């Protein structure tokens, strides 16, 4: 029988000889022959299908430690089972990549919408597209930062479990119950196709009065809202994180978007009833 040296055998599939040593260590592909004197390792052409199967597992994302699960009692490879399960793993990776592409596309669109510089704390109007979101319950007062992060983490997990791409960071919804009391909720926007959002909450498309602020500034967000819009019966404000081309880690560019309880009634109607807000305003 003619043999290949370990280097020759590795070159047949353009891999490193250390990979062959690793496969041998794991008991997946032992050399066909080891010279007793030199300890040189040699492989045969008949071992190429085994190597190809190992490389296929790697490409499909199947852990090599699981390769033995595809061998029957006689050590025969159940190739169809391997391919079926490998296909499922590959499909999962494709879906994840697509979600990542949707997320990147969202951020690029968001940056494009915010390319025009605006004076801080000055009201302007902007047309904003429909947004799909998942949101927390409504809190009667602003929670501590730790509690906020815990609630947002739950939203993030929910989005992932439903194959949605959650877009961080989280945003805030302020609902004015009366001039003295403001309740709030937090939400994540999710990148999704229009026809897959039927089970999601929606922020409606429309023209919103807006103010650009930096929440790292010393001025309080509510003070800015009060100065520019005062208190209007049934008002709500979306505190929305703005994605810009360049930003410092120490800044939080934010857009305050004015809306109303009426416009959001379908979104927060149940929560409004629970908190005693006037759902008919």
Nearest to 17 by CA among 49, 46, 40: 40
Nearest to 202 by CA among 169, 163, 173: 173
The 10s digit of each residue's pLDDT in 58-89 is 888 888 888 878 877 777 778 888 889 889 98
pLDDT exceeds cutoff 60 at 278: no
Q: Assess contact for 126 and 240: CB atoms under 8 A.
A: no
Mean pLDDT of the 139-164 span:
88
Spatial CB neighbours of 158, under 8 Å, sequence gap ≥ 6: 134
CA angle, 135 then 138 then 141, to 5°? 130
Mean pLDDT of the 107-123 span:
72
Q: What is the 3-class SS of 121-160, one letter each residue?
A: CCCEEEEECCEEEEECCCECCCCCHHHHHHHHHHHHHHHH
pLDDT at 219: 56
pLDDT exceeds cutoff 50 at 108: yes
pLDDT at 253: 81
The 10s digit of each residue's pLDDT in 6-22 is 999 999 999 999 999 99
pLDDT at 248: 63
Of 248 and 98, the one with more pLDDT: 98
Cα 167 to the center of its chain, rounded Å: 6
124-157 per-residue burial string, b: 16 or more CB within 10 A, e: under 16: eebebeebbbbbbebbeeeeeeeebeebbeebbe
pLDDT at 155: 92
CA angle, 232 then 238 then 244, to 5°? 135
pLDDT at 216: 64
pLDDT at 249: 63
Of all helices (H) and strands (E), which one includes residue 4? strand 4-5
Of 155 and 243, the one with more pLDDT: 155
Mean pLDDT of the 103-129 span:
77
Q: Assign 251 a pLDDT band (cuts: 50, 70, 90).
A: low
Pairing of strands 181-191, 165-178: antiparallel
pLDDT exceeds cutoff 50 at 280: no
Nearest-angstrom CA–CA distance, 165 and 187 = 13
Mean pLDDT of the 44-68 span:
88
pLDDT at 281: 30
Mean pLDDT of the 97-118 span:
75
The 10s digit of each residue's pLDDT in 175-221 is 887 777 788 999 999 876 544 444 688 899 999 999 988 766 545 78
**Mean of the per-residue pLDDT values for the chain?**
82
Nearest-angstrom CA–CA distance, 256 and 267 = 18
Residue 229, classified by CB atoms within 10 Å of its CB into exposed (0-12), middle (13-18) or buried (19+), is middle
- Helix-helix angle 48-60:79-113, to 10 degrees: 30
pLDDT at 51: 92
pLDDT exceeds cutoff 70 at 47: yes
Nearest to 132 by CA among 200, 74, 83, 184: 200
Nearest-angstrom CA–CA distance, 281 and 68 = 65
pLDDT at 279: 33
pLDDT exceeds cutoff 70 at 266: no
pTM of the predicted structure, to 2 decimals: 0.65
Q: Assign 33 a pLDDT band (cuts: 50, 70, 90).
A: very high
Partnered with residue 234 across adjacent β-strands are none
CA angle, 103 then 104 then 109, to 5°? 100
Nearest-angstrom CA–CA distance, 114 and 108 = 10
């Amino acid at each position: 029988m003619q043999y290949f040296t370990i280097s020759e055998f590795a070159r047949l599939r353009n891999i490193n000889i250390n990979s062959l040593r690793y496969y041998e260590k794991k008991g997946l592909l032992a050399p066909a022959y080891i010279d007793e004197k030199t300890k040189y390792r040699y492989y045969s052409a008949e071992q190429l299908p085994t190597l190809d199967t190992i490389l296929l597992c790697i490409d499909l994302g199947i852990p090599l430690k699981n390769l033995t699960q595809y061998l029957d009692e006689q050590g025969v490879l159940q190739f169809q089972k391997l391919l079926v399960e490998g296909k499922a793993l590959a499909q999962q990776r494709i879906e994840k990549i697509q979600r990542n592409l949707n997320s990147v596309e969202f951020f690029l669109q968001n940056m494009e919408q915010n390319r025009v510089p605006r004076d801080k704390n000055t009201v302007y109007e902007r047309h904003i597209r429909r947004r799909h979101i998942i949101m927390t319950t409504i809190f009667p007062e602003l929670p501590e930062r730790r509690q906020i992060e815990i609630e947002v983490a739950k939203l993030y997990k929910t989005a992932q479990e439903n194959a949605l791409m959650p877009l961080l960071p989280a945003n805030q919804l302020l609902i004015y119950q009366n001039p003295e009391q403001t309740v709030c909720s937090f939400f994540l926007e999710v990148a999704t196709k229009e026809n897959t959002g039927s089970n999601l909450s929606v922020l409606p498309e429309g023209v919103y009065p807006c103010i650009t602020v930096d929440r790292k500034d010393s001025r309080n967000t509510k003070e800015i809202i009060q100065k520019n819009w005062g208190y209007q019966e049934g008002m709500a404000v979306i505190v929305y994180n703005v994605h810009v081309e360049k930003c410092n880690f120490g800044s939080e560019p934010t857009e305050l978007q004015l809306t109303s309880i009426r416009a959001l009634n379908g979104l927060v109607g149940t929560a409004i009833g629970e908190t005693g807000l006037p759902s008919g305003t």
